[in-house]
Chain A
Amino acid sequence: MAERENEDRDQPLLMAEGLGKSYGRLTACRDVSFALYPGEVLAIVGESGSGKSTLLQLLSAQLAPSAGHVSYRMRDGVMRDLAALGEAERRFLFRTDWGYVHQDPALGLRMAVSAGANVGERLMAVGWNHYGRIRDTAASWLERVEIDIDRIDDAPRTYSGGMRQRLQIARNLVTQPRLVFMDEPTGGLDVSVQARLLDLLRNLVSELDLAAVVVTHDLAVARLLSHRVMVMKGGRVIESGLTDQVLDDPREPYTQLLVSSILPV
């Protein structure tokens, strides 16, 4: 497992404190607090309407919180409140230090542009100026996510759902981010394709020492990918802890219900 140099692994990478979001009288989520450390994967599980998607948007600074703070430790070691970042800083973070994998890969890709350009775009955005090197780097990433290199000049419009998702992952990882947000990364894929993708994700997260926040309704995904899990219901975190512990020995009745309804794989 690759470890980043000079990283203080005892300091949290991402911190939420009393985080909440309301729309008028409707509260989407409230009172969320946790700390995420480098190389750690946190799963947020719950049914639809539990507030988990809103929470992901808050954590990735795509929504402004109604209450509480989200802070992120920048590459220079300083902890910054995301709400205080300027738009330029936020967009730069998104292109370099962070990744965001959408449930629908079409949202995270340029569908009409070649796979090579999709992966190379972030490199070009940070100043890479050599076509050959950009292309070679893109090709090596396609290999890494198990996409046939011959498809490098094809647009993702011509890809299957599973391939698109793997391309989206490659596009996100090319700048070696420290933190990746994933919104139902295997949603909408066939069961066998899901399994392969989860395997890939697990290996990449480990090889690249990524921290990740994964939102999913599927406990099997949480079990496979995450170290820790938070269970959400009605906008609140009702239970959290080490994944194996929570899933093997759930305390809350709702968590027990969720666990008991998993079909054995």
Chain B
Amino acid sequence: MNAPAYNFAYLDEQTKRMIRRAILKAIAIPGYQVPFASREMPMPYGWGTGGVQVTAAILGPADVLKVIDQGSDDTTNAISIRKFFAKTAGVATTTATADATVIQTRHRIPEAPLHGGQVLVYQVPIPEPLRFLEPRETETRRMHALGEYGLMHVKLYEDISRFGHIATSYAYPVKVNARYVMDPSPTPKFDNPKMDNCPALQLFGAGREKRIYAIPPYTSVVSLDFEDHPFTRYRFDAPCALCGAGDSYLDEIVTDDKGSRMFVCSDTDYCETRQQRGYCGSESAAPHKERLHG
């Protein structure tokens, strides 16, 4: 039995070329979903294969890679993906947002503003923003081609008539470059404004659904809304219990069985960086010390 020898970053050059062509097309048409022949990867569909294929296609030996899931470098799937690239590409990895050249993320955009030269790769489960309104792909493709987004607005109208608010809290649809309506992936709507006019390149990979899309740097990204029901961000109204930040998205942690809760930054790098600079929250009397579980 022959043991397989893997190429740099796992994918063969032919496949990388195919994916890069799709990426270039996506960049040329901001917000448009480009179909691509997604490969079977060593992790299951739905677990980041799209993001991994995009990252594998653009990674070079000099790159520095950060991988986060739910904003944290330490969640199991982020670790698994980071190890995958460390093994197959041998690239340097980091948890510091500012030092990374490629950041692969699931469900969050880092709090620290990104700069030119960085690439943010999003993992996308369902790329089609109209999917739950119209299940047929043949129909949604036509709607995008003709710019017919009435159905999306109907959904927003219905939300307001039923709940008094637009009832979408994550994967909130946006209009890119004033043309295509796009699903930003299941990031909380809190993160939407970060996509607008961003200096970094944003790439979106959906492996199972076989689509790639992109937002080039400094592109307009506007969240859909009504004039009299404008888009608002949601954030739990409290400072981070560890670092005191009042402007970051917070995770709710249940601390006992009587319903006690505390709220800490979802972005672990942001929180730790602040703590290292001396910022504190109500739960930390002293600067944060890393503790390992034995």
Contacts and interface: CB of A to CB of B under 8 A. Distances in A.
Contacts of A131: 157, 160, 226-229
B157 A124 contact: yes
Contacts of B228: 130-132
A8 interface: no
B157 A134 contact: yes
B233 interface: no
B136 to A, nearest CB: 15
B154 interface: yes
Interface centre among A117, A120, A129 (most CB of B within 10 A): A117
Contacts of A235: none
Interface string A112-130: 0110110011101100011
A124 B161 CA distance: 15
A80 interface: no
A151 interface: no
A114 B226 contact: no
B157 A120 contact: yes
A53 B149 CA distance: 30
Interface string A163-207: 000000000000000000000000000000000000000000000
A153 interface: yes
Nearest to A89: B146
Given A121-B154, A122-B150, A129 B226 contact: yes
Contacts of B151: 121
- Tell me if B's interface is mostly helix, strand, loop or mixed: helix
Contacts of A110: 154
Contacts of B160: 131
A117 B158 contact: yes
Interface string B140-156: 00000010111101100
Given A110-B154, A121-B154, A124-B154, A130 B161 contact: no
Contacts of A88: 146
B289 interface: no
Contacts of A153: 161-162
A130 B157 contact: no
A87 interface: yes
B226 A87 contact: no
Interface centre among B157, B162, B227 (most CB of A within 10 A): B157
Contacts of B150: 95, 121-122, 124-125
Contacts of B161: 114, 116-117, 135, 152-153
Interface in B154-171: 154, 157-158, 160-162
Given A114-B158, A153-B162, 14 more contacts: A110-B154, A113-B158, A114-B162, A120-B157, A121-B150, A121-B154, A124-B154, A125-B148, A129-B226, A129-B227, A131-B227, A134-B226, A135-B161, A153-B161
7 contacts: A87-B146, A114-B162, A120-B157, A121-B153, A124-B153, A131-B228, A153-B161
